A and B are shown apart, each in its own frame.
Chain A
């Protein structure tokens, strides 16, 4: 016992006293700092009466502001019947140049027959999410069919187009990752980017030099911090065919950049699926890019396919991850079986009747050339690729209100002459970048050249009358 205690005692005694003073001070400093750290900004102590007074005085804003009753969304044109080539509004038929029924599959008898048969087998709703007995065999059939159609390993089916895009992106991109996005991307992508909480780097619309500039900046940063670079995933998100401008993405350049800077590529083919490419496979087919090199293709089934829902396809390793981490897939009821089989039948028709794509393209080209001629020498101008079935008619003016008025007048006057056009609607203020007002004009494969010419004539007349004033 003594052999332990005595040495300790002698050590304690032999240490100079100022040592203890210093150590004591040190402890005090630690306690002081610790105290300071723990002290939060203290809330004022209020009595119950004071609290009640505050509660009584607090007046919240109204839940929603007043909406002007003349807003177009409150006074829509109610369509009776099918939204095919012609739409019927209040008993009158209008040539439809407004909906995205590109292949004319709305009202197709084969599809409707299949949908009806499905109702008599599976009912209407699926009554559950995919995980909990909401997976019907037709869902798996469609997924397989989509994967084969696109030449991918696997496809994942969502029940809504918007949710497809908005859920697929945050399933991979997380906080700390970097997403390069085109400034012209649609709203669903913007919401997906927001939900991912990643760092978003915007590059100018279809400007590959600007994109590469951003990549180079990042490459320099990576050199400085290789540890972080090793765990930072990089993605680029582009659209195959841009909804907001009707342009194609420069896919070959994007692929080059992908391999050069190791950035994964996600393409939203909502508009280009079933439209671009000689057999409707989208931009990969058009540019001859190997589809397995694209990390993920997302598309909605609500445009050319004329159903509801959307899908993501790609390599199984990538895509299957969504089955648990894609929120819109995992936590939402599955697509109603009748819409699933309708989409299946539409895909079959697309395979059997590839002439629909040719008709669509020739109509598109005819419409674009005609439009350019019809509104030449006016302040109206048209935007869109020759391959695109969507064109934007815009008005050259610095004054947004004036442009809107002119475009509205064009829509209204054309409507009186039997043409259903629509303004492209946006939520101003919610979009990431300012939007130039436009008319979104679509063509479909069913239009005959006479109908295209006739509508062009109407548009030309209206534009001329508007320009005169």
Chain B
């Protein structure tokens, strides 16, 4: 058994010390496969030969090893890592993706029977939702929820249609699993007041009991959600010097010297000429895209783009075309058509074309194929808007996002957008790029004129955490966090696969969705994990396609191996109860693979 590499600050456990023995695990997987109601086929067979036997560390020349590291296959990974564990910690090699791994990421389709059953279950839900609305309207059953006042009886109902039906009758049933309240810092361990509902989910009351849970739901990738340490101290100092708010927009009197310092730091971190920051990540997209494109322009938007991007594009007035998620061929076809044929309604060529996509997709865990898109963008002279909301800090050898991770140049991405909320545990968003672009935004951004400037302690948090990531504090704390995150990611993803979960997304992405298809099952899963003190996120329709409900884990640099082992154990137990191990076929490949932290 190889010894796990020791990392400063991380635990030096070997895989044999995992809390659940392999045999037990196999038994469980067998029983799960027996119980599984639908025979789920894995999306594609990667066709790699498994070197079951050679788990012994293999000595091989370093250059060859590095060359092999270019290949990005999960199972190869496992082996590579087991060969690598003898290396010194200083020899840490950040994974480098290859084209194939980016172009073929797992987003398995449900088999038709599951699809049908999920649709059927929604049909049943909608039928009963309609029925109960009908009975309530006639006063035959009592509605526990809020009703419109008598005074407004002659008005057209303010909420109505399918949306209200869904919220009032279907979403409400599962509302205990979302919107959970926390009463501590959203670190890796947090406290959560327990609540009860006496009226079927319409209102909640706190029972006065607090629960301590492990947090795998917050976007705390680098573990900066801390209520102590230099970041917190600096933020408090910022309040002493600069106050809590400025009550002015950037174009009036809201530009403070600390704002300027932050923007310069962001630009330096990302390797761009300039950057501009805004107090809300959602607003950064929604309020700035209209300043970049307008009528007569074309926006090519990924199908799974975040709502803020969609809203920004819609507000801009440009023509919007959607390409299939991460599908470079589809993007090329649409780009080619747009350039060759122009706008079909006006019969004129487009003024400019903007490709809008994200670095890591928060619901799929997929990483965008940036090198391929950059090649296309250059060929067709389009511009690229990259939203690094989830990838900044979470990817790349020094945490500089998907651009660094893919080995691309920041100069090739025209508009680099990202949030400061997630990895840096502050709030807001940034846009970085050429000075020309940033100057334009300073003048034309809706936010700079009509929105308020960022709050100084939040600005200070960005400066502190980003300085740590850049090593400006003189320690290797930033590097340590990155190493820990990628290690946690690989370990957790592989263990999940081994346990038989069907995970989505790229091996290096710290967003790990586990597909459970049925909304009821994912709800059950997160309820039960919460009962066992593990906080995860369940995502159901309408945030995902109807038959692709899922539970999602977000890894953090703050998690330790013991925590992950514990969490995996909980997940496995719950999945056996809720019957949500949909990746048993894939798991067979992993059965004899030793997963080393």
Identify the A interface with B (CB < 8 A).
Answer: 43, 46, 51, 54-55, 58-67, 69, 71-74, 76-84, 87, 96, 98-101, 106-107, 111-112, 115-116, 119-128, 130-137, 139-140, 153, 159-163, 166, 172, 186-188, 191, 194-195, 230-234, 262, 264, 292-293, 295, 300, 302-303, 306-308, 315-318, 320-321, 323-325, 327-328, 331-333, 335-336, 338-339, 342, 420, 422, 425-427, 430, 440
With a CB–CB cut-off of 8 A, which chain B residues contact A128?
186, 217-219
Residue B303 interfacial (CB < 8 Å): no
Q: How far is the CA of A391 from the CA of B352 in the complex (A)?
A: 42
Contact B183 A321 (CB under 8 A): no
A306 in complex: contacting residue of B244, B283, B339, CB < 8 Å: B244
Asked if A125 and B244 sit within 8 Å, CB to CB, the answer is no
- Bound form: Cα–Cα A170–B314 in Å: 13
A232 and B421 in contact (CB under 8 A), knowing A98-B253, A163-B286?
no
Given A119-B236, A124-B426, A136-B181, are A425 and B252 also a contact pair (CB < 8 Å)? yes
Task: Point out the residue from A65, A127, A195, A331 that lies within 8 Å of B220, measured CB to CB.
Answer: A127
Asked if B437 and A82 sit within 8 Å, CB to CB, the answer is no
A193 to nearest B CB, angstroms?
Answer: 11
Partner of A107, one of B178, B243, B426, B537: B243
Least CB distance, B253 to chain A, in whole angstroms: 5
User: Given A64, A134, A262, which contacts B218 in the complex, CB threshold below 8 Å?
Assistant: A134
5 contacts between A and B (CB under 8 A): A83-B248, A128-B219, A133-B182, A191-B315, A262-B156
Q: Are A130 and B179 in contact (CB under 8 A)?
A: yes
Q: Measured between alpha carbons, how far is A137 from B397 in the docked complex, in Å?
A: 36
Closest to A430 in B: B446
Cβ–Cβ contact B246 & A83, under 8 A: yes
Query: Which residues does chain B contribute within 8 Å of A99, judged by CB atoms?
Result: 246-248, 252-254
**Chain B residues whose C-beta falls within 8 Å of the C-beta of A71 in the assembled complex:** 439, 442-443
Q: Within 8 Å CB of B382, what residues of A?
A: 60
In the complex, the answer to whether B255 meets A172 with C-beta atoms within 8 Å is no
- A67 and B449 in contact, given A99-B252, A122-B227, A295-B158 (Cβ under 8 angstroms): no
Q: Is B242 at the interface (CB under 8 A from chain A)?
A: yes
CB-based contact B439/A122 at 8 Å: no
Is A67's CB under 8 angstroms from B256's CB?
no
Chain B residues, Cβ within 8 Å of A194: 315
Check if A332 sits within 8 Å of B244, measured CB to CB: no
On whether the beta carbons of B455 and A308 are closer than 8 Å, the reply is: yes
A83 touches B243 (CB 8 A): yes
Contact mask for chain B residues 367-385; partner A; CB cutoff 8 A; 1 contact, 0 none? 0000000000001111100
In whole angstroms, what is the CA distance A78 to B456 when docked? 13
Q: Chain A residue with minimal CB distance to B193? A: A137
Whether the Cβ atoms of B279 and A125 lie closer than 8 Å is no
B184 at the interface (CB under 8 A from A): yes
Which residues on A sit within 8 Å (CB–CB) of B535?
A: 133
| Interfacial chain A residues near B537, Cβ < 8 Å | 132-133
Q: Does B478 contact A (CB under 8 A)?
A: no
Given the complex of chains A and B, what is the CA–CA distance between A60 and B311 in angstroms?
24
* Contact yes or no, A137 B218, CB < 8 A: no
B124 contacts partner chain A, Cβ-Cβ < 8 Å: no
> Chain A residues with Cβ under 8 A from B414's Cβ?
63
Q: Is the CB of A318 within 8 A of B159?
A: yes
Please determine whether B155 and A112 come into contact, CB atoms closer than 8 angstroms: no
Asked if residues A79 and B253 are in contact (CB atoms below 8 Å), the reply is yes
Closest to B228 in A: A120
Q: Do A51 and B156 form a contact, CB below 8 Å, given A128-B217, A133-B217, A331-B306? A: no
Stretch among B43-51, B163-171, B566-574 lining the A interface: B163-171
Given contacts A77-B255, A124-B458, A195-B315, contact A321 B159 (CB under 8 A): yes
Is B219 a contact partner of A127 (Cβ separation < 8 A)? yes
Give the distance in Å from the alpha carbon of A60 to the alpha carbon of B224 in the complex: 42
Whose C-beta in chain B lies nearest to the C-beta of A98? B253
Q: Which residues of B contact A135 (CB under 8 A)?
A: 179-182
Which A residues are in CB contact (< 8 Å) with B149? 292, 315, 317
Q: How far is the CA of A104 from the CA of B350 in the complex (A)?
A: 51
Q: A83-B253, A116-B236 are in contact. List 5 more A-B contacts (CB 8 A).
A: A55-B379, A172-B159, A307-B455, A338-B244, A427-B446
Tell me the minimal C-beta distance from B581 to chain A in angstroms: 23
Do A127 and B225 touch (CB < 8 A)?
Answer: yes
Give 1 or 0 for each of B427-445: 1 = CB within 8 Å of chain A CB. Answer: 1000000001101111110
Q: Which of A234, A308, A422 contacts B253 (CB 8 A)?
A: A422
Q: Are B452 and A133 in contact (CB under 8 A)?
A: no
How many Å lie between the Cα of A230 and that of B160 in the bound state? 12
**A172: chain B residues within 8 A (beta carbon):** 158-159
For residue A236, give the distance in angstroms from its CB to the closest CB of chain B: 12
Q: Specify which chain B residues have a CB less than 8 angstroms from the CB of A119 in the assembled complex.
A: 227, 232, 235-236, 239, 457
Determine the residue in chain A with the shortest Cβ distance to B421: A333
Q: State whether B280 touches A159 (Cβ < 8 A).
A: yes
Q: Give Cα A422–Cα B164 distance, bound, in whole angstroms.
A: 45
Could you say which residues of chain B place their CB within 8 Å of the CB of A186?
450
With A and B bound together, what is the CA distance between A166 and B228 in angstroms? 36
A121 CA to B341 CA, complexed, in Å? 58
Most A CB contacts (10 A, CB to CB) among B179, B282, B311, B439 go to B282
Is there an interface contact between A101 and B440, defined as CB atoms closer than 8 Å? Answer: no
| B240 contacts A by Cβ under 8 Å | yes
With both chains docked as a complex, state the minimum distance between the C-beta of B156 and any C-beta of chain A, in angstroms: 5
Across-interface contacts of B381 in A (CB, < 8 A): 58-60
Which of B156, B224, B339, B382 has the most chain A CB atoms closer than 10 A to its own CB? Answer: B156
**Complex: chain B residue closest to A296, CB-CB:** B158
Say yes or no: is B287 at the interface (Cβ < 8 Å to chain A). Answer: yes
Tell me which residues across on chain B come within 8 A of A107, comparing CB atoms.
243
Shortest Cβ distance from residue A101 to the other chain B in the assembled complex, whole angstroms: 4
Given known A74-B439, A133-B537, A293-B151, contact A127–B280 (CB-CB < 8 A): no
8 Å CB contacts to A: which residues of B279-303?
Answer: 279-283, 286-287, 290, 292
Q: Which residues of A contact B592 (CB under 8 A)?
A: none
- Do A76 and B255 contact each other (CB < 8 Å), given the known contacts A81-B242, A106-B245, A131-B178? yes
Return chain B residues, CB-CB under 8 Å to A295.
158
Q: With the chains together, A191 CA to B445 CA distance in Å?
A: 13
Q: Does B198 count as interface, using CB distance less than 8 angstroms?
A: no
Query: Given A67-B439, A195-B311, do A133 and B218 touch, yes or no (CB 8 Å)?
Result: yes
Contact A112 B243 (CB under 8 A): yes
Residues of B within 8 A of A331 (CB): 282, 306-308
Are A161 and B452 in contact (CB-based, < 8 A)? yes
Closest Cβ of chain B: how far from A424's Cβ, in Å?
Answer: 8
Minimum C-beta distance from A446 to chain B (A): 13
Residue B448 at the chain A interface, CB threshold 8 Å: yes
Q: How far is the CA of A422 from the CA of B253 in the complex (A)?
A: 8
Residue of B nearest to A336 (CB): B427
Query: Chain A residues near B224 (CB, 8 Å)?
Result: 125
Q: A44–B409 Cα gap in the complex (Å)? A: 38
